[in-house]
Amino acid sequence: MRQLETPTVPKGLTDSFDRLCQVVAGPVCVAVSGGGDSLALLLIAADWAQTRGRDVCALTVDHGLRPEAAGEARFVAEIAARYGIPHRTLRWESPQPGQAKARRARHQLLAAAAREAGSVVILTAHTQDDNAETFLIRARAGSGWYGLAGIQPLSLSPAEPPGVPVLLGRPLLATPRAALRDLLRTHGEDWVEDPSNENPAYERVRVRRTLAEDPALRVRILTLQERLQLLRQLQDQALANWLTADVEVRPDGALRAPLPLPPGERRERALAALIALASGRTRPLRSDALNRLAHRITRPDTLRPATLGGAIVAVRKDRLHVTAEHGLAPEQVNAIPARLAAMVTACSGHM
């Protein structure tokens, strides 16, 4: 079958792909559900890869929770084949109801497939619209400015260790969803419409409708997010610098850092990073518990060893020691330096 030409990378996206992917070895993996956003991302990524002499691999997760899922995976495989893009369907062998469980399974499957392909980055199709929706959802939940800055262009995959750390790259955060649909129409490509995207039982659907009815609100949110993102970049880069300069990983997997921890809001983020690294867990910590422990660390002479998020936090000789509450497997311990390096990369926002 004759391979079709992929759409040209839209103006402004080349730099985004370069920043997220250029120095990463191995193929660039793209998570593709069959929806318009992810299909457009796949075709744009394939064109970028061709200009850079890189390989692309499409990954589709079949959760087995909807009867249409298998057909949607075949739909993606057929489109990938027409463009000469390798494709894999990843099946959740023991599907369980619940969005959180499905999300964890999806990330585990995607990360494992990326590692098998020799890659450490997975591109996802979060758009400018997703960012605006996320702002309202987080604002309603009481998020502070750091969370309201929105979805980040690069983050550590929430897939649980062991294994090589995998990063999630989001090159389309400045691209409107409508522009991606237009690109697919221009090239005669259809896409899958998930019926849940029209179900008002989901908060994101209700928020999406609110923004569609008030375009001016969308503009105001994106303007504010742009400013908050600049502040977050400064905070995250400072955290990356601290992780690089001050955090020591011991052969047994323990982490040590000098006291005091970074000042202000960065104290809690620094502590959360150490706990995540030592415990091997990726789930967010309860903010109230993290805040209390971070405050206690400001008075190290009275701090007794404390546990949080699967880690033991203690002070010894003016240094903070963080270790796993329960013993980690040797491969998990050996992966901690790589996870630290990946965390620094994610904080820096580029590879």
> Which amino acids are annotated as binding site for ATP, given as ranges?
33-38
- Going 316 to 321 to 327 to 329, the CA torsion angle's sign is negative
Distance between CA atoms of 290 and 280, rounded to whole angstroms? 17
- According to DSSP, residue 13 is labeled H
Both tokens assigned to 182:
């237009």
Strands ordered across the beta sheet of 87-91: 87-91, 56-62, 28-31, 121-123, 167-169, 154-156
Both tokens assigned to 150:
């929105």
Binding residues, as ranges, are: 33-38
Q: Residue 78's CB: how many other CB atoms inside 10 A?
A: 10
Q: Is 10 helix (H, G, I), strand (E, B) or coil?
A: coil
Contacts 24+ apart (CB under 8 A), 315-318: 315/259, 318/258, 318/259
Going by C-beta distance under 8 Å and a sequence separation of 6 or more, which residues neighbour residue 287?
Answer: 268
Strand partners, 246: none
- Going 280 to 285 to 289 to 292, the CA torsion angle's sign is positive
